[in-house]
A = this chain, B = another copy of it.
Amino acid sequence: MSKSPSNPKGTRDFLPLELSKRNYIINILRKNFKNFGFSEIETPALEKSSTLLGKYGNEGDRLVFKILNSGDKVKKADISSLQSGDLNSFIRSISEKGLKYDLTVPLARFVSQHQNEITFPFKRFQIQNVWRADRPQHGRFQEFTQCDADVVGSNSVLQEIELIKLYDTVFNQLGFSDLVIKINHRRILKELACYFGAGENIVEFITALDKIDKIGVDKVLEEIKLLTLDFSEKELRNLLSAKEFDLGYLKKIFSKNSDSFYALDELNQILSYFSVNNLVNEIKFDLTLARGLNYYTGTIIEVLSKTNQRIGSIGGGGRYDDLTSMFNLKNMSGVGISFGLDRIYLLMEESKLFPDYLDKSFEFMVANFGISNLESLAPYVDEIRNKNREVFIYPDNVKLTKQFSFANKHNASVVIIYGENERKEGIVTLKNMLTGDQSSCQLNELVQTLTNS
């Protein structure tokens, strides 16, 4: 028995106001995912350890929450491996399941498992919680919501175009118009590493480039000097410092290797498509965009606020070849994007993009003067609710000032007053909670009066 109960560190309780703002974002996401032809799926929180482990590297595996086997199965604990310091074996002896770490590995498992029940190309979205046993700290949670849309089983560049359009549409509907959607291509980064003599250290080269926003061009060049001896610092500096990247220039310096030429061509198709069909937000080819060390192999995409870069990217994604090969389904290219719900929330809060009506717990409150009065008001309350308007009936017949104060705390628009006097006269008194004004109407005109305003 806990004296002062609390939720575990790194997890959150959502109170009504915060949740209704989060759901406002999620509803706009879900609606647009559907309008773009994505279908929603859900996978369980629990996955087998064999599905989860070995997919995120050692660091990732460490962050997977493991579930203790239940019942007498715990007795099979392998004490000797605990004593010899082999924690992984010990854990394997008492745990066969874990909580999902992201939505991508479960998607790969799902597609492979249900390949005969779905039709390719498979466009799915998923809005679900994931769990990471990360050290809890400000703004980093152990339980959080991911919002992903992916297409599996199509190589067409049209998918990249549609996903960028989806980003623009969603963010526009959320009220953003100052964003930049950056794109780059993993194959170009590879080719660039080769061109500057770091062909043996591609990953390190990409890692160095990825830090440019944080440490600047000079420091990036210093790091690259450690990876390659034979390169023109001036040429790389010019490239990395350029305000506008020139696909034509890259075509000139790259070997006519079909792989990277195809990548340049793909970026070119995307950019020229959006030179005809304009976006609300800006789209920009950014040669320094790298998106960490994850599994992307093709186009990469990232969304940032131009006026508030401090908050970091609020969306990102890309293409990964062979998404499902880890589950023995070959040749399924995947491309997808993710929306950063928590950061979008923060940015919308800062920029005051949430509509005011979200502050209301309910629109109308019926003051309580006893059940017999409510009995005759009930059919009208039913009607208002059937018109999808929210009515809270105050539960107890207490002082009106207490009832009004409750309505105020919940930002109700109108309090409906139907006491003895009103009942005798067949009228209803309406108190406007914003202005404090009172007016009245006939009981049988109540629904119209309230729902036409």
Interface residues of A (CB under 8 A from B): 1-8, 11-16, 19-20, 23, 31-32, 34-37, 39-48, 50-51, 54, 62-63, 65-68, 70-72, 74-75, 77, 79, 82-83, 87, 90-91, 94-95, 97, 99, 109-110, 112-114, 117-119, 121, 123-124, 129, 131, 133, 142-143, 151, 154-159, 161-162, 165, 169, 269, 273, 276-277, 326-328, 361-362, 365, 368, 371, 374-375, 378-379, 382, 385-386, 388-393, 395-396, 406, 409-410
Contacts and interface: CB of A to CB of B under 8 A. Distances in A.
Contacts of A77: 77, 82, 90
A406 B110 CA distance: 20
B395 A121 contact: yes
A114 B16 CA distance: 12
Given A133-B70, A327-B2, A7 B44 contact: yes
Given A66-B67, A112-B5, A46 B131 contact: yes
A386 B7 CA distance: 40
Given A48-B8, A158-B395, A15 B67 contact: no
B113 A390 contact: no
Contacts of A94: 68, 94
Contacts of A5: 50-51, 109, 112-113, 327
Contacts of A45: 11, 45, 99, 129, 131, 143
Could you tell me the dominant secondary structure of chain A's interface residues?
mixed
A8 B44 contact: yes
Nearest to A36: B385
Given A41-B19, A393-B37, A406 B277 contact: no
Contacts of A382: 165, 169, 277
